[in-house]
Amino acid sequence: MNNGIDWRRSLTGFAGLMGPPLGWFLLFFAVPMAVVWAYSFGTNVGISDIEISGTFANYARALEPLYLGILGKSLAFAALATLICLVIGFPVALAISFAPPRLKTWLLIGVMLPFWTNLLIRTYALIALLRDEGLINHGLELAFGWAGFEPLRMMHTNFAVMVGLVYVHLPFTVLPLYAALDRLDRSLLEASLDLGAGHIRTIWNIVLPLASAGIASAILLTFIPVLGSYLAPDLLGGPDSQMIANVIERQFKRANDWPFGAALAFMLMYLTLFGIAMQSLLKRRERPE
Amino acid sequence: MREKPGLLDYARRWPLQLWMWLVGLFLYAPLAVLVLMSFNDSRRTTQWRGFTLDWYRKVFEDAELVQALMNSLTIAALSTALSVVLGTLAALALWRFRFPGKPLVDGAFSLPIVVPEICMGVAMLIFFARVMPWPPGLPWPLSLGAIVIAHVAFSFPFVAVVVRARLGSFDRSQEEAARDLGASQWQAMWDVVIPHLRPALLAGALLAFTLSLDDFVITFFTAGPDTLTFPVKVYSMVRFSVTPKVNAISTLLLLFTIILTFIALRLQARAETEQKH
């Protein structure tokens, strides 16, 4: 296979093409990331000076029960939100991949449009529904007001955060699931149905195993962004529904403990990179080349 | 015509149809309510009191909000221009050349796509506070430089992905023919390869624009105290009060996103039909 020309044959061409993006990437992504990494081994000296002392104290503090608990809670939130997205999203992806072409396009647009919409606006839209005096409570009061209905307290709870996480990330699950289901060999499904297996059994025994790599990739593609979520717990959650990103933000904007914040940020990075490594392994298994 | 659904016609079986309607409701009801309430003649956002465009007038009377919107649109435009150039260069370099460490560079360029926003935000905060402070007091739009830089850093890899996918369908013999006919390497690139990329460049530009306009977390961390951007302004409004003014401004942005999405889809559809011919 032709993998392009050797870079030494056209040094100026190579430098001209690769130089600007690589330079931008190194200066404005790799260097800042490296500085955060270095800070995660630093100590506060005075009010605004940070000395890179090579200490592991920040990581040790990040592993204290309080912060480990928040990390554990973030992982649990992300796992639950991913599971709910998967349960809601799988039938949607199935229906889309078997829809007639014209309808399929519209359904895909329907899933993608919220995905393109500003995250802040989508979270705000949920606030208007979930508030004590919001639309859901208002509707419930109209229906059950005669029975002495008390408004449900939904805002600033873990429930609201979970609704927000699922609402925001559902397209992240549906699109990869759709891509996996759309590639399936239909004749295998027809064979299973012809031979007398029911729809549920066919989905369970044929579709799920065949699409397993795609499903795993949908899980990771949902899990990774949920884990780093900032806005949903910040705007919808209460004091006990803070996730790791909120704690990181606090270290930088309020507590002013940058080295510790950097260590927390890198804990999140390590988890993310682990997830990405898994994802690329899965991808390789999905399409052996 | 109500025939029995085919064996695999899952989209026409009622349990799935019901499910699709429910999910559609879940995805769109909050947005529909948001739009509806922006026309509501009441400060309270629950009861319908009649139609008004007052909130839209109030949005445009709010000088700070308009300034924030102008800043964000300017940032998005600058970031898009730079991202398209850098992303295209990166895609071309990775497509055209074989060099040591290519898989490494390839993987590295996809990092800004997957890194959690909060981590990148933190990185930008430290970078512009300690490593390369952006000079204060620069004239507009130079004062937006730090945010533009941050936006380009996470947008150009998306453009590179889109452009590279399009390069996959390029017939290299066309470029060779141009070279045989006496075009220089650059001429061949400019006159043969770039025109083939046009739909991808437009799609990538729209993607970069939306990414920049939508970003909250990274901007929140990069923005100095004196640069007000639209998401940061809306965030502070949302934090402190829920007023129909926020609904009005959100509706405007929603409309803008819908238009951009449809343009992107039209371009994609056109590129696909072009490819079939």
A228 vs B118: CB contact, 8 Å cut-off? yes
Q: Select the residue of A5, A22, A98 nearest B105 (Cβ to Cβ).
A: A22
Which of A26, A37, A9 has the alpha carbon at shortest distance from A273? A37
Q: Within an 8 Å CB–CB cutoff, is residue B243 touching chain A?
A: no
Q: What are phi and psi of A42, to 5 degrees?
A: -110, 170
Whether the bond into B141 is cis, omega within 30 of 0: yes
Q: B177: distance to nearest CA of chain A, Å?
A: 17
Res A88: pLDDT: 93
Quote the crossing angle between the two packed helices B117-126 and B145-167, to the nearest 10°. 130
Q: Which fold has domain A61-286?
A: MetI-like fold (1.10.3720)
**Which residues of chain B neighbour A87 with C-beta distances below 8 Å?**
none
d(CA B84, CA B106): 17
Q: Select the residue of A14, A128, A261 nearest B97 (Cβ to Cβ).
A: A14
Q: A65: distance to nearest CA of chain B, Å?
A: 22
Q: Within an 8 Å CB–CB cutoff, is residue A265 touching chain B?
A: yes
What 3-state class would DSSP assign to B216?
coil
pLDDT in tens, B92-114: 888 888 888 888 888 888 888 88
Comparison of pLDDT for A39 and A151, the residue scoring more: A39
pLDDT in tens, B204-222: 888 888 888 888 888 888 8
Mean residue pLDDT across chain B: 82
Mean pLDDT of the A257-271 span:
89
Q: Which helix (H) or strand (E) holds A275?
A: helix A258-286
Res B250: pLDDT: 86
Q: Within an 8 Å CB–CB cutoff, is residue A208 touching chain B?
A: no
Q: Where are the domains of chain A?
A: 61-286
Res B81: pLDDT: 93
Tell whether the model's pLDDT for residue A1 goes beyond 80.
Answer: no
Quote the crossing angle between the two packed helices A101-116 and A65-97, to the nearest 10°. 160
What percent of chain A stands above pLDDT 70? 97
Mean pLDDT of the A179-192 span:
80
d(CA B124, CA B29): 36
pLDDT in tens, B150-195: 999 999 998 898 888 888 777 777 877 887 887 777 777 788 778 8
pLDDT in tens, B22-55: 998 898 988 888 888 888 877 765 677 778 888 8
Domains and their CATH numbers in chain B: 10-54 (no CATH), 55-276 (1.10.3720.10)
d(CA A137, CA B46): 10
Mean pLDDT of the B231-249 span:
82
| B40 DSSP 8-state letter | B
Q: Select the residue of A22, A125, A170 nearest B30 (Cβ to Cβ).
A: A125
Decide if B254 contacts B31 (C-beta within 8 A): yes
ipTM of the complex: 0.84
Paired with A5 in beta bridges are: B97
Tell whether the model's pLDDT for residue A2 goes beyond 60.
Answer: no
Res A289: pLDDT: 44
Burial state string for B228-262 with b = 16 or more CB within 10 A and e = fewer than 16: bbbbbbbbebbeeebebbbbbbbbebbebbeebbe
For the entire predicted model, the pTM comes to: 0.85
Tell whether the model's pLDDT for residue A84 goes beyond 90.
Answer: yes
